[in-house]
Structure 1
Amino acid sequence: MKRKLNAIWLKRLFNIWPPYLGAGLKVLEITEQWDYARVKLRKGRLNSNYFGTAYGGSLYSMTDPFYALLLVNQLGRDYIVWDKGATIKYIRPGTTDVYCEFKLSPEKVLEIKQLTDQQEKYEPEFEVDIFDANQQLVAKVTKILHVRRKR
């Protein structure tokens, strides 16, 4: 039987994982209920672009796996959850450290479960706002997940 990582261990692994370390990313929190996560991008020389602002790929990377991880851990073993797509809209340059939060309410999980059970698959969308240290909006990311029941 396969064992799942708990939220504390997953957070620790993310924070030593080379792609996240290299991008300057740090997972600040993942709740044990799998309903919230918070991530920080530490702006530095290795993740700044030609203009000295946060590199767009690092901004996207900080949002990449979290809604899929939160959702699959709430839905359980009977469901498959994949990232299907994403778009990012840059609002202003990231000149400081930046942060984003992922919130997954019980109502949203129930809605996804019900819609997935009614059809072969369901593709929910989530929005993630990325803010700088001054609470200024830097970017908006729209994530699309693919959810289906295991056969």
Structure 2
Amino acid sequence: MSLYQKIAAIGTKYLGKSRTFKYGFNWSPMYRRSTGRIISVSDDLLYIKIKLPINYKNRNYVNSIFGGSMFSAVDPIPMVQLMNLLGNDYVVWDKTAEIRFKRPAREDLFAEFIYSISELNDIKSRVEAQDEIEIVKTTLLTNKAGDKTFCEVHKTIYIADKEFFKEKKRSKES
């Protein structure tokens, strides 16, 4: 269990899961450096919204938001969100990521991360049938109104049954 997981376990007891998720990310050094901030988390963690404000910390040479800031503001959320939604019976890892820039961002950006109950049920049933799967989640970085897309990030996430994963790891080591 990582330091962040230990802090999250304690925080969840006192603040609840959604508040711990929001403030845990916003206060953690790894996420603060992205300059992104989580601004909204639903109680069930199915919906998360971030804001990436343009400022002196993330402006690049051509006066737009640095692409690395865009990616790092989006990168950890789909995986950690899914880990919390699925629970401890599953192993969840980022596998690949692809970022496509659409236009220079010279204004604050926003992104939403959404999982549905039916999507979670589909993931669980596919893992039950296949032991391990991959899904692709797409996140759009947009303006506040959501009518201009500046960047899209496609993340491939690996999900496995925890017992299957442990056995697979053991067989590779021997």
- TM interval, short-chain normalised: over 0.9
Contact in 1 for aligned 2:35/2:73 (Cα 8 Å): no
- How many angstroms apart in 2 are the aligned matches of 1:110 and 1:99? 27
Say yes or no: does 1:146 pair with 2:153: no
Q: Of 35, 51, 68, which aligns to 2:79?
A: 68
**SS across alignment from 1:44:** coil
Q: TM-score, normalising length from structure 2?
A: 0.81
| 4+ residue runs over 6 A deviation | none
2:98 corresponds in structure 1 to 87
Task: Give the 3 Å change call, closer, same or farther, for CA 61–150 of structure 1 in structure 2.
Answer: same
Task: Give the 3 Å change call, closer, same or farther, for CA 129–22 of structure 1 in structure 2.
Answer: same
Gaps of 5+ in 2: 1-5, 164-174
**SS across alignment from 1:46:** coil
- How many angstroms apart in 2 are the aligned matches of 1:76 and 1:22? 27
- Greater fraction of residues in helix: 2
Q: Whose radius of gyration is greater, 1 or 2?
A: 2
Instruction: Identify which of structures 1 and 2 has the higher relative contact order when contacts are C-alpha pairs closer than 8 Å and 6+ apart.
Output: 1
- How many angstroms apart in 2 are the aligned matches of 1:72 and 1:84? 14
- Say what the alpha-carbon RMSD is for the aligned residues: 1.5
Q: Of 112, 120, 123, which aligns to 2:131?
A: 120
The amino acid across from 2:86 in the alignment is L
- How many angstroms apart in 1 are the aligned matches of 2:43 and 2:69? 26
Q: TM-score, normalising length from structure 1?
A: 0.92
Gaps of 5+ in 1: none
Matched-pair identity in %: 29
**SS across alignment from 1:115:** helix
Tell me the number of residue pairs that the alignment of Structure 1 and Structure 2 aligns: 150
